[in-house]
Chains A and B, each alone.
Chain A
Amino acid sequence: MAATSRLPLEFDAQSLSTVSRRDFVRVCTMAAAAVGLGPLAAERFVEAAANGLRPSVIWLQFQECTGCTESLLRASHPAIDTLLFDLISLDYHETLFAAAGHQAEAALKQAMAANAGKYVCIVEGAIPTKDNGIYCMIGGRTALDIVQDVAGKAGAIIAIGSCASWGGVPSADPNPTGAVGAHAVLKGKTVVNIPGCPANPYNLLGTVLQYATYGTLPELDAENRPKFAYGSTIHEHCPRRAHFDAGRFAKKFGDEGHRLGYCLYELGCKGPATHANCSVQHFGDVVDAWPIGLGHPCFGCTEQKIAFRVPLHTTVEIDRPTPPDTYPPIHAVQGGVSPIATGVAGAILGGLAGAGYVASRKLTPVASDEPPKSPEV
């Protein structure tokens, strides 16, 4: 998207027309495909965007490391510039802003007023609640105040990263600031949690694009995580799963098993208990760019009860702790011998042979002019 990446930051609706429709459709299709929304979604998205209906996004950052933003910057399907300039209207983001200070705060107020009830509020980072939330303040307001104000007028609220989902690192024991996730301070609101440390940018893109295209949110699990990304455990699709099943484990970092790419479970891998799609959707569009791919155990960042709460090298309980004793059969069913059919055939054959022999014994004494004795047929 060479044409779009050179667009100026301050563009008006007119500047969109400098992008050819063909290029724009291509970007939308790519984006929709990357997050599994399908080609129809792309068309609808093109329609909406062409009519100037790009969703306004307000991105709030509190107690966080900017890791989630950093990982988003490294997405390329679509690339961040395409996302920012063509697909959404990112109206407030402290890291990406050219503006600063009062100018930035003014932009926030303007975006909230212009798109009240419609904009998407993305929260990155935990919100401190102790001592009235004084441990995180921006422009003279506490994080608590800002998130309740901004999210309260939003059309959809998304918490990106483990911190915004349920506190993350700042909430680890002894949690000096009383950090909590966004949903804990937004009672009565639906907050989509996209946990991860950092969260996989594609899981955010999928959620945002679905909201932008259809006005709906993806199906969520009990912890408000989108099922399309957090529906199965890392263990289920782990590239090292064969080693687990065969009982081949790395025993310590740098040993032979570790170098051969064996299963990391005994080093404390939380994959069997962690619901996320990392094992199939790697980070930054680099193959194997995720913990297990790089030889480190999963630390369970998408699970509230594991990351920052269970020690890094403690193994988790799993349903089936030992691999099976024998390999399951790998052949398709290719016919078989039914015991009943064998029995029936055997009985018939035996009966025929027996009856024939007994009958023939009766025939032996029969002289050529004697009729044999037999029941009438």
Chain B
Amino acid sequence: MSTHAAPVGGPLVTTGTRLFAGIFGLGVIAIAWRLLLGLGSATALNDGYPFGLWIAFDVVTGAALACGGYAVGLLVYILNQGKYHPVMRPAMVTSALGYTLAGVGVGLDVGRWWSLWRVPLFFWRWNFNSALLEVALCIMAYIAVLWLRLAPALLEPYTSGPDSPWRRRAITFSRIIDKLSVPMIALGLVLATMHQSSLGTLMLLAGSRLHILWRTPMLPLMFLVSSISMGYAVVVFESAFSSVAFKRKPEIDMLAGLAGAMAPTLWVVVLLRVGDLAWRGQVGALFAGDGRAVMATLEIVFFLIPIVMLASPAQRRDLGNLVRAAMAMIFAGTLFRFDTFLVAFMPGANWSYFPSVPETAVTVGLVAFEVLAYVVIVKTFPILSGQTLAERQAL
């Protein structure tokens, strides 16, 4: 872990945090609505579409967007690119928050949520042939690993504070975590690889109810690679956001480097996507002219856009361009996941689904909470490294 990280500081109650808290408040009302009056009342879900926005976005897309920790971890620990280490902590914070909210999203989607507590207890009744169980176990384990890895950073204000029995316990705990860091990093990377690909496996199980354009055994690999691309894009976006919000020097060198690392993963996704269609002889389906063909084409186009936008080194050093490319990349990955989980899904004639207002309110509210929690954490705990503006002006 970087030793140069420091809390950003500053007031926690600002116009921005108030706004996000307000949006989260609306989300809480929608959550209460869903929990008290049931899925049928709060959502547009039906027997044809038993999963909707919360699974497609909060869980599947949310898990991919929370891939920053995984994507940077691959660079830092596997490819030994230590220069990216400063973005590791913020990336892990977004990962921990993102995965936690993905877990909340799954919980809200469970019809009889009041029986959820039985699931971890009655483990001998688990279905070990279930892809969904694998995803659930991986994600829950990953959430635990992420928060444990962050624990030393979150405990720093106490370990560096006045002496007390709790301070000593906190120090001991942090030391144990640090000692375990290598196996924990390895476990974290394995878990993320497993469940990111398994999210693709889930829809593969739908068989012929998945449209031919998406019905491919390559789906898990595409989910895995595109999640890594999205992880880089999110780290870029979040870093730029932090520099704007907290008036810090943008880490443009590092972001340009990440953008460079993103391009190969994007190429892999596009080549996999097109190559798979060609291999299966389904390129014609791309030109069928129906809505699903248009959506699949849009996907591929949006995967290509960031490649073009980040082609030259100069483009990669233009922060605005970098952020736009990251947004396009995030949109492409999100579209791919929405397509696979909702657009490509064909439950039968006459079924239709569009998320209801409460569903959208829950999703937007959870995202607002994520942003709010990120702001509070980086202001309170040593997450962001690099100089603040005040420090630079003092020199």
- What is the interface of chain A, defined by CB distance below 8 A to chain B? 331, 334-338, 340-342, 344-345, 348, 353, 356-357, 359-366, 368-372, 374-377
> Within the assembled complex, what's the spacing in Å between the Cα atoms of A203 and B354?
54
> Within the assembled complex, what's the spacing in Å between the Cα atoms of A348 and B364?
9
Q: Does B360 contact A (CB under 8 A)?
A: yes
| Distance in Å: Cβ of A362 to nearest Cβ of chain B | 7
Closest A residue, CB atoms, query B46: A335
Query: Contact: A360 with B327, CB < 8 Å?
Result: yes
| In the complex with contacts A359-B244, A376-B10, A371-B357 CB distance below 8 A | no
> Within the assembled complex, what's the spacing in Å between the Cα atoms of A368 and B319?
8
> Within the assembled complex, what's the spacing in Å between the Cα atoms of A357 and B354?
26
Query: Contact: B252 with A368, CB < 8 Å?
Result: yes
Query: Which residues from A are CB-within-8-Å of B17?
Result: 377
| In the complex with contacts A336-B352, A345-B360, A356-B327, A374-B244 CB distance below 8 A | yes
Query: Which residues from B are CB-within-8-Å of A356?
Result: 323-324, 327
Query: Which residues from A are CB-within-8-Å of B319?
Result: 360, 363-364, 366, 372
Query: Which residues from A are CB-within-8-Å of B245?
Result: 374, 377
Q: Does B246 contact A (CB under 8 A)?
A: yes
19 CB contacts below 8 A, A to B, read A334-B47, A334-B352, A335-B46, A335-B48, A337-B352, A338-B354, A338-B357, A353-B327, A359-B244, A365-B320, A368-B253, A370-B249, A372-B243, A372-B250, A372-B319, A376-B14, A377-B14, A377-B245, A377-B375
Query: Which residues from B are CB-within-8-Å of A344?
Result: 357, 360
> Within the assembled complex, what's the spacing in Å between the Cα atoms of A134 and B320?
113
Query: Which residues from A are CB-within-8-Å of B354?
Result: 336-338, 341-342, 345
Query: Which residues from A are CB-within-8-Å of B322?
Result: 363
Query: Which residues from B are CB-within-8-Å of A372?
Result: 243-244, 247, 250, 319
> Within the assembled complex, what's the spacing in Å between the Cα atoms of A360 and B236?
12
In addition to A334-B46, A368-B249, 4 A-B residue pairs with Cβ atoms within 8 Å of each other are A335-B45, A335-B352, A360-B319, A368-B253
**What are the 4 tightest A-B residue pairs by CB atom distance, in nearest-first order?**
A364-B320, A377-B16, A335-B46, A377-B245
Query: Contact: B350 with A331, CB < 8 Å?
Result: yes
Query: Contact: A336 with B44, CB < 8 Å?
Result: yes
| Distance in Å: Cβ of A365 to nearest Cβ of chain B | 8
Other-chain residue from A334, A337, A360, A376 in contact with B320 (beta carbon distance below 8 A): A360
> Within the assembled complex, what's the spacing in Å between the Cα atoms of A374 and B248?
11
Q: Does B317 contact A (CB under 8 A)?
A: yes
Q: Does B49 contact A (CB under 8 A)?
A: yes
> Within the assembled complex, what's the spacing in Å between the Cα atoms of A368 and B14?
27
| Distance in Å: Cβ of B390 to nearest Cβ of chain A | 10
> Within the assembled complex, what's the spacing in Å between the Cα atoms of A98 and B124?
83
Query: Which residues from B are CB-within-8-Å of A348?
Result: 360, 364
Interface hits, B115-156 → A, CB 8 Å: none
Interface hits, B352-395 → A, CB 8 Å: 352-357, 359-360, 364, 375, 389
Q: Does B181 contact A (CB under 8 A)?
A: no
Q: Which of A337, A348, A359, A371 has the most CB of B within 10 A?
A: A371
Other-chain residue from B247, B317, B324, B350 in contact with A368 (beta carbon distance below 8 A): B317
> Within the assembled complex, what's the spacing in Å between the Cα atoms of A368 and B248?
10
Query: Contact: A335 with B351, CB < 8 Å?
Result: yes
> Within the assembled complex, what's the spacing in Å between the Cα atoms of A353 and B49?
27
> Within the assembled complex, what's the spacing in Å between the Cα atoms of A246 and B252?
74
| Distance in Å: Cβ of B72 to nearest Cβ of chain A | 20
> Within the assembled complex, what's the spacing in Å between the Cα atoms of A364 and B319?
5
> Within the assembled complex, what's the spacing in Å between the Cα atoms of A337 and B250?
43
Query: Contact: A375 with B357, CB < 8 Å?
Result: no
Query: Which residues from A are CB-within-8-Å of B324?
Result: 356-357, 360
Query: Which residues from B are CB-within-8-Å of A366?
Result: 250, 319-320
Query: Contact: A335 with B247, CB < 8 Å?
Result: no
Query: Which residues from A are CB-within-8-Å of B45?
Result: 335
> Within the assembled complex, what's the spacing in Å between the Cα atoms of A302 and B248?
93
Q: Does B193 contact A (CB under 8 A)?
A: no
> Within the assembled complex, what's the spacing in Å between the Cα atoms of A338 and B14?
35
> Within the assembled complex, what's the spacing in Å between the Cα atoms of A340 and B360?
11
Query: Which residues from B are CB-within-8-Å of A357?
Result: 324, 327
Q: Does B263 contact A (CB under 8 A)?
A: no
| Distance in Å: Cβ of A239 to nearest Cβ of chain B | 30
| Distance in Å: Cβ of A330 to nearest Cβ of chain B | 10
Other-chain residue from B48, B244, B350 in contact with A363 (beta carbon distance below 8 A): B244
| Distance in Å: Cβ of A21 to nearest Cβ of chain B | 52
| In the complex with contacts A362-B320, A366-B319, A376-B14, A371-B46 CB distance below 8 A | no
Q: Does B240 contact A (CB under 8 A)?
A: yes
Query: Contact: B249 with A369, CB < 8 Å?
Result: yes
> Within the assembled complex, what's the spacing in Å between the Cα atoms of A369 and B240?
13
| Distance in Å: Cβ of A344 to nearest Cβ of chain B | 5
> Within the assembled complex, what's the spacing in Å between the Cα atoms of A51 and B275?
91
| In the complex with contacts A359-B244, A368-B317, A341-B16 CB distance below 8 A | no
Q: Does B160 contact A (CB under 8 A)?
A: no
> Within the assembled complex, what's the spacing in Å between the Cα atoms of A334 and B253?
52
| In the complex with contacts A335-B48, A348-B360, A377-B14, A361-B320 CB distance below 8 A | yes
Query: Which residues from A are CB-within-8-Å of B164?
Result: none
| In the complex with contacts A348-B360, A377-B17, A334-B247 CB distance below 8 A | no
Other-chain residue from A334, A361, A362, A374 in contact with B350 (beta carbon distance below 8 A): A334
Interface readout for B268-297 with A: 1 if CB under 8 Å, 0 if not?
Answer: 000000000000000000000000000000
| In the complex with contacts A335-B44, A356-B323, A368-B250, A345-B352 CB distance below 8 A | no
Query: Contact: A371 with B247, CB < 8 Å?
Result: yes
Query: Which residues from B are CB-within-8-Å of A334?
Result: 46-48, 350-352
> Within the assembled complex, what's the spacing in Å between the Cα atoms of A168 and B324?
90
> Within the assembled complex, what's the spacing in Å between the Cα atoms of A334 and B347?
11
